[in-house]
Amino acid sequence: MGNKFSKTLKKKSIPLPSINMQEDSDFKYIHGRRYHNVESVKYPLPNDEEELDRLHLQHFLLRYVWQRNFAAPVKHILNRNGTKVLDVGCGAGSWMFEMASDYPNTQITGLDISPIQPSEIKPRNVNFIKANVLNGLPFENNTFDYIFQRFLVSAIPKDSWPDVINELTRVLKPGGYLELVEINPIPFQLGPVSSQLFTAVEKMLQLRDLDTQIPYKLRSYFEQHGNLENITEEKNRLPYGPETGKLGQAAVENARLAVTHAKPFLLEAIKISSEEFDNNLDVLVKELNEFDSYNDTCCVYARKKGNY
**Does residue 292 fall inside a structural domain?**
yes
Let me know: does 267 contact 204? Beta carbons within 8 Å. Answer: no
**Does residue 275 fall inside a structural domain?**
yes
Let me know: does 120 contact 104? Beta carbons within 8 Å. Answer: no
SS3 156: coil
Identify residue 158 by its one-letter amino acid code: K
φ, ψ (nearest 5 deg) of residue 108: -110, 125
Q: Other C-beta atoms within 10 Å of 147: how many?
A: 27
**Does residue 81 fall inside a structural domain?**
yes
φ, ψ (nearest 5 deg) of residue 63: -60, -35
| Alpha helices per DSSP H over the chain | 49-66, 75-78, 94-102, 161-170, 192-207, 218-225, 245-261, 263-270, 274-290
Let me know: does 281 contact 256? Beta carbons within 8 Å. Answer: yes
How far is CA 113 from each of CA 45, 110, 156, 175, 204, rounded to the nearest angstrom?
13, 10, 12, 28, 21
**Which CATH number fits the domain that encloses residue 284?**
3.40.50.150
The predicted pLDDT at position 271 comes to 84
φ, ψ (nearest 5 deg) of residue 211: -110, 110
Let me know: does 39 contact 161? Beta carbons within 8 Å. Answer: no
The predicted pLDDT at position 114 comes to 78
Q: Which residue range is the domain that position 262 belongs to?
A: 11-304
**Does residue 6 fall inside a structural domain?**
no
Q: How many domains does the chain contain in total?
A: 1
**Does residue 299 fall inside a structural domain?**
yes
- CA dihedral angle for residue 20, residue 24, residue 26, residue 30, rounded to 10 degrees: 140
**Does residue 160 fall inside a structural domain?**
yes
pLDDT along the chain (308 residues), means of 10: 38 36 63 74 82 94 96 97 97 93 96 73 87 95 98 96 97 98 98 96 94 97 96 97 90 96 90 93 96 97 91
